[in-house]
Chain A
């Protein structure tokens, strides 16, 4: 067992882990963060996507100790003070959720994209979501949701800072 110290959803976490395990298993079973889904377990489907230091990665093929000293964001860390993140709202409003299994990962990739590009093009969205398999939505609702999310984030910024970007 090894001592793992990292930041998960803004909180300092210290936990003893078996270093042969994957990050997704520790997040789900030890930390109880079951919002991160485990699909293929081989880095193919993207269901287990989390943000590691802000970048989307497949937590199913990451040895857990790789999180040492790093910052992790899972879907549970997106809502603030009981209020959904604009991307989450947008996914609901655009009907971009069906079975829900790929959704947490897709939303986190969307977050990383929208932090890089305030108003991403269709191609940039396609590229950012290319590591996610979704068998329900046909992906079209994702495009709607991401565009709506970009608008919502811009509006929020305007309301907070009094300007658009």
Chain B
């Protein structure tokens, strides 16, 4: 343990088994083959997509793997399919690919804008949607909108296949319920809401590029017969996972989407619900609470404005 290292980090490193080093990097051509490889190397193999997080964790000893099973060349992992009721996104799509896709833009501008905010162009050209989910950082700019859109993930592993709500995959900061040594996300399913709907993403960071968000927010409003029938409001990082401001969501039900007062009131409630911590990097809790209100308000106004 070095002087600058916390006990937690030291434990994490020990658990990771520092001596293990990547000995092979494999490229399965199919998902089945990928699962077989994970089975064959029993816990010593790990899925890699873009690798932009994983490569650094491996270097720092925060993660370890003897075999990397690379999913970026599997065709199905990069598919983007529009169905009548949903979009199916391949988790191997890069942030750049999602951000520039016109179908995603048409239905889910929140997701386009979120993907466009990740890292830098160079990171967006290689980092993937699925990787961002499994990295489980609470304020991941592509994941926060996916949670607001109620996305589901199809996960395949040694013990079969299951579909889960994305928002339920978070165990803690950097910890996902998707275990990359045993399973892989194979599809991300984003339902098109029935009836009229609008969604939007907002973020603030110290700089406009290559800076992590101080606060980000994504919302989706669904309208039925002129009244809001469903609302999803997500903000981060104010908890260990993307945070749903459920009271703020509830207070919008039955309201008219054009009522600016109601949208502003919901943003105020979101501010009261969110409990951001003081952070040397991101700013004081008090400041970030105020930002929750501003960004949720901005996102709600834009989502309501896009209902058309």
Contact = CB atoms under 8 A, between A and B. Distances in A.
A29 interface: no
A62 B68 contact: no
B99 to A, nearest CB: 11
A66 B69 CA distance: 11
Contacts of B96: 55
Interface string A57-100: 11001110110100000000000000000000000000000000
Interface residues of B, number: 26
A61 B52 contact: yes
Contacts of A63: 22, 25, 48, 51, 55, 68
A20 B58 contact: yes
B172 interface: no
B22 A19 contact: yes
Main secondary structure on chain A at its contact with chain B? mixed
Given A19-B22, A130-B208, A131-B209, A42 B122 contact: no
Interface stretch (A7-15, A43-51, A142-150, A155-163): A43-51
A14 to B, nearest CB: 16
Given A19-B68, A20-B21, A20-B58, A131 B121 contact: yes
B126 interface: yes
A119 B209 CA distance: 22
B215 to A, nearest CB: 20
Contacts of B68: 19, 63, 65
B210 A131 contact: yes
A128 B23 CA distance: 35
Interface in B92-134: 96, 119-123, 125-126
A2 B25 contact: yes
Interface in A94-146: 109, 127-128, 130-133
Given A2-B25, A63-B25, A43 B119 contact: yes
5 contacts: A19-B68, A43-B56, A43-B122, A58-B126, A65-B70
